[in-house]
Amino acid sequence: MKKATRKEIQEIHKRFVERYSDAVTELKYKNAYELVIAVALSAQCTDKRVNIIAPPLFEKYPSTKELAVAELDDVKKLINSCSFFNNKAKNIIKMAQRVEEVYGGEIPMDEKELQTLAGVGQKTAHVVMIEYLGANLMAVDTHVFRVAHRLGLSDDKTAIATEATLVKKFKNDLHALHQGMVLFGRYICTAKNPKCDECFLTDLCKSKEGFKV
């Protein structure tokens, strides 16, 4: 597959920022605590599903203080329609415990500090900071990975490597580009039967012949 030229990269950047400059996550949350949990739950689970299961969880455990002393089985029951709910239940309780013990009940808005929390890796930390702070960071999920490859922006084999490539090529407005690429991949440049007739990047697409990504 051909790689995008520097001029094409600039044009892709411009179009995404113009269209998605005000884009935000589709996860519903009221504060940093709810956002971290919602993002953690969304791993390999749809935002729609998280938005269904999260409100009862937040109602019963409105902050890290309550969640830190929650019964594991109760949390499992509340999120059991989410993928990998056993591990996620353990992690969000451990996360709450660390936030209480180390950060006084306040979610740390720092990339390295966030990654000390159970279940929070680089991607989750970046998504949280992009959404909450508008941080100039990139995070690569399945949608961003697919879009980046179809547009010839990356031929990397992993999400982490793809993220580094996108940061290097785009540099600025990364928060808008991340949100835009997620929504574009979710609703237009879909894995199966992409809606090419609705696409605003068809002239820049490198995958018209196959859609193998």
Domain boundaries, the chain: 6-23+137-204, 32-133
Q: What confidence tier does 2 reach under pLDDT thresholds 50, 70, 90?
A: confident
**pLDDT tens for each residue of 4-57:** 999 999 999 999 999 999 888 999 999 999 999 999 999 989 999 999 999 999
Active site residue 141: yes
In the block, residue with structure tokens 């002393």: 69
Q: How far apart are CA 45 and CA 82, in angstroms?
A: 6
CATH of domain 32-133: 1.10.340.30
Candidates 123, 155, 203, 206; catalytic one: 123
**Residue 123 annotated to the active site:** yes
Any idea which residue has 């006084």 for tokens? 104
- Same fold for the pair 6-23+137-204 and 32-133: no
Return phi, psi of residue 74, to 5°.
-70, -45
Q: Tens digit of pLDDT for each residue in 152-173?
A: 999 999 999 999 999 999 999 9
Distance CA 213, CA 210 (A): 9
Give the distance from CA 144 to its chain's centroid: 9
Look at domain 6-23+137-204 and name its CATH class: mainly alpha
The catalytically annotated residue of 141, 156, 157, 206 is 141
Distances (CA, A) of 1 to 153, 195, 206: 10, 20, 6
Query: What's the pTM value of the predicted model, to 2 decimals?
Result: 0.90
- What whole-number distance in Å separates Cα of residue 160 and Cα of residue 168? 13
pLDDT reading at 209 higher than 70: no
Distance CA 116, CA 128 (A): 14
> Cα–Cα distance between 103 and 64 in angstroms, integer?
10
Residue 121: half-sphere exposure toward Cβ, Cα within 13 Å: 10
Predicted local confidence at residue 208, as pLDDT: 67
Give the number of C-alpha atoms closer than 13 A to the C-alpha of residue 62, restricted to the C-beta side: 1
